Every structure is written in structure tokens, then in C-alpha cells.
Amino acid sequence: MKIIVQNLKYQISPKQWLTIDNWHLDTGQSVLFVGPVNSGKSTFAKLLSHQLEANTGSIAMDHPEKLARVSFELEAEILAEDRYHDDSDFVEGGLDQGRTAGEIIGSETTADPIIELMNISHLLDRPFKVLSTGEARKVLIAKALRTKPELLILEEPFSGLDISSRQTMIGLFEKLIGMGLQILLFDYYQEGLPDSIEHMVFISDGRIALEGPKHEVVDSAEWKSKNQHQIQLPHFLPDSYRYDHLDKTCPLVKIVDLNVKYHEKPVFNNLNWTFKRGENWRITGPNGCGKSTLLGMISGDNPKAYGKDITLFGVKRGSGESIWDIKRHYGILSSSLHRDYKASVSVLEAVVSGFFDSIGLYDKPSDAQWKIAREWLELLGIQDKETRPFSGLSFGEQRQVLIVRAMVKLPLILLLDEPCIGLDNQSRTQVLALIDYISINSQTHILFVAHDYRDELTCLNRSLNFEPTGDCYTATISKI
């Protein structure tokens, strides 16, 4: 497919424009687009895929009907449709699981060549809304491939994928390119991007700053000057909740012989895990092994915890505690929280909602809470977005805000499930350094899930790793 862009202008925000004076894509060419958060690259992807209409200028392509796009927004739209059609009040058991992965793809047969190509036959009968981030990404790519596109636009396709799935995905893209499919891949620059896409476009401040062969772009002086990482750490941490009411001799979390199943298929069996004070844990394992399920069970977000032998902060689950008694000890960021955070609030209000563990703001914050929220926004360098609508931010900008929301009360446990998805390299470096700083200079303990090799924390001293054993997963505990 051939694309010609001329004199394109689109207003991203009152103070920012995307301006592409002249750009073209040759037939058969694949391109890697990189740039920081708020650079305009996601906006350009939406304009190319006709999700947005330019204020001025033109985008000409010979077969626009042969284009497909996979993005975080598409995943959110599908989940929003399932929520709208949720019939939990009328179905047996009181729980409408929504559409299966097979129904989303439009194929429920394991003999489908695309299902085989993506190696996702085991996901077809599972509800889309319970899939991990990486599993959902594979399903959406399969859905896009079933339209037989000539050009596929992918936004951060590797986010949330474990190492094995990442390598499989890279191999898939190389195979698809070899078969003649053009791919426009929009992501943050990293070493693990496909070698088969050699042409790179660097977008910065709403313009194409650099373009050419990948190795020439990253070796240029302009690239190096624009990609220096600077870390800003606070001289103090904003005030926080106190947890002196808790028995310091009790573990924060204790789990005994925990078994989890989905549709009678075991996920993991006989998990025994104790999370003590002074420990910071990294939870690892392949996509679909139950990591997010486990975190949801100990944070009050997964009903499978009921009837299980789980003790939180010295109180056994099911002994009369409310979900808010549990959540007050946590600061949480996960892909499911991000998907569900659809409240009509400003950035500052979204941050303050972390004090109340709510999606949206329904309580009246104190002057001190407003002040603390502003201090946290400043720590991540996003205080200029304070009054902007949360829903109007890009995915990466929303992720930054939700990280601040999780940190705002300096919780006893900071539960971070793939926190850096959607962050550019500078923001990733800043967030990881701040997490390490918090673990050293506060009462906060860390529970950390991440597949990306760049997501390293020095504070982590324990590991809970899920490995495949037969038809389910077994956990191994070790020191780091």
C-alpha cells in the first residue's frame, strides 16, 4: 500500500499540534515509528487509520479498506461493549462472562490457519475480559489478520508479553512481512524491536525529527541529545497514611494451599506463600499463569478469594472485613484498573481518588490530600496536566497518572502489575527509580510484576515464579 501525507495538521491539545509537512510510504515498505509520551505518534497512527480527521492537509492511500489497526484503545472498546451488554442480573449464576476470545476473533475453530499461526487455540473458549494483557494482544492481532489487510498498524504490540511470547511475536511479524504484509509499528525505542523493519521515523514535539535506516537514526547526535535520561528524586516523600494499628509480628499476606481454576481447568495448585515485612517481591511467569489472578485475590478485586485460606494483615478473609478494609493498605496499578478507569475526572481528581480507592471521585478530599496529590504530580513531572480531563490523555499519559494515584497515600503494599506499559524510556527510568526510592524511604513494600527486561528494581529481594507443570503451573519461591 502506498501512502502520501501532505501539509497535515491536527490539534492534539490547546497547546500542542501534530504537524507532518510531507511524508510518504512506498508500496511494500514497513516502518518503525518511535517517540516519547505525548510526542504525537499515537495521534499519527489514529489519523492514518481514519480514527481521527485532520484539521488541515491530506492523507492519500490507494486501498484504505485494506488497513487494520491494533491498539490499547481497541481493547478498551471491546471491553466497554461487553460491559454495556452485561446481563449478569439475568444469567444463571449471576455472572455474564462476556464474549469469548473466539467470538472476538470471529473464529472458534482450532483448525483456522490464523489461530494456528498465532498459537492461541487454548484461548478460544476463554472470556476475553479475563485474558492477560499479552493474551489479549495476541487475540486482537488474530482478529485484525482475519480481515486480510495489506497494511497492519500496531501500537506497542510487545507490551505485557513474556519473553517467549515476545520472541514468537517478532518471528510472526518477520513471517508476515515476508508474506508481503506491510507493518507500521508504533512503539518506544528498545533493542528488542524486529530487525526485519529497518526504516525508522522518530517523532518528537509533534513533528518528524529524524527518519532513515534504524542504525543511522540511533547513531545520530540529534537522537542522542533527545534521548538522555534524567532522574529526579525527591528530598522528601509527601505525607502518608499510618499503619501503626497493625500487628507488626503478623505477615502482610499468608496463603495456604491455594488452588485456582477457570472453567474447571486448573491454573495453579497448592500455593503456599507468606509475604513478610521487609520483603519486596517480584512475581514472574508466562502469560496466563495466574499472576494477575493472585494479585486480584489478595487485593480484594477477585471473588475467587472467598472461601480460601488467605490472611491479610493478620485478618483472615471472610471474617467480616469489608473490601475497603483491605484496599486501604494497597496502592494498585494494573491493566484491569486502567481498562476500568472510565470516570469523568481531571488528572488531579484521578490522583486524589487513590486516597479513597475509588474509580472516580465521590468523597470530599481534605486540603492536605489535594496538596499531597499535587506534590506527587510534580515528582513525575506532569504537574502541567493537572486540570486536563483524564479521558483526554494518551494511553501513556494515563498510565503516568495512575502510577501517581497508586503512590499517593504511600501504601503499605504498592501492587504494580506491568506498571510501565505505555511509558516511554525516560518515564520508565523515572518511575522505576522512584519505586526504589519509596521502598527505601518509607513503610511501603513492593509487589512487582513485569515481563519487560528493562523493568529492573534494586529493592526486590524475593521471587515468586510460576512455571508450567503438566496442565497447570507450580510456584517456586526464592531469594534474589
321-362 pLDDT, tens per residue? 788 888 889 999 998 899 889 889 999 999 999 999 999 999
Q: How many domains does the chain have?
A: 2
Q: Is 239 domain-assigned?
A: no
Is residue 242 one of the residues assigned to a domain? no
Whole domain around residue 427: which residue ranges?
253-479
Residue 87 is predicted with a pLDDT of 62
Q: CATH no. for residue 293? A: 3.40.50.300
Give the cell for residue 394. Answer: 494518551
Q: Does any domain span residue 234?
A: no
**Do 200 and 304 fall into the same domain?**
no
Domain co-membership, 332 together with 462: yes
**Residue 272 confidence (pLDDT):** 95
Who contacts 63 (Cβ-Cβ below 8 Å, separation ≥6)?
Answer: 1, 150
Position 424 scores a pLDDT of: 86
Same domain, 370 and 317: yes
For residue 232, is it within any domain? Answer: no
* Residue 432: all three cell numbers together: 522505576
Give the pLDDT of residue 163: 77
User: Is residue 270 in a domain?
Assistant: yes
Helix (H, G, I), strand (E, B) or coil at 274: strand
Q: What value does the mean pLDDT of the chain take?
A: 88
**Residue 326: predicted pLDDT:** 85
412/265 same-domain check: yes
Domain end among 219, 239, 265:
219
Specify whether 344 is located in the same domain as 454.
yes
List per-block mean pLDDT (blocks of 10 residues) for the chain, which spans 480 residues.
96 91 95 91 94 94 93 86 70 68 85 86 89 86 93 90 82 90 92 87 95 94 84 70 77 92 80 95 89 88 79 85 85 89 94 94 92 89 91 88 92 93 87 90 91 87 91 90
Cα(448)–Cα(205) distance, integer angstroms: 32
Give residue 185's pLDDT. Answer: 96
pTM here? 0.76
Is 433 found in the same domain as 297? yes
One domain, residues 80 and 122? yes
Question: Does 465 reside within a domain?
Answer: yes
| Structure confidence at residue 154 (pLDDT) | 95
Residue 245, in any domain of the structure: no
Q: Say which residues have a Cβ less than 8 Å from residue 392's Cβ, sequence separation at least 6.
A: 13
Identify whether 247 is part of a domain.
Answer: no
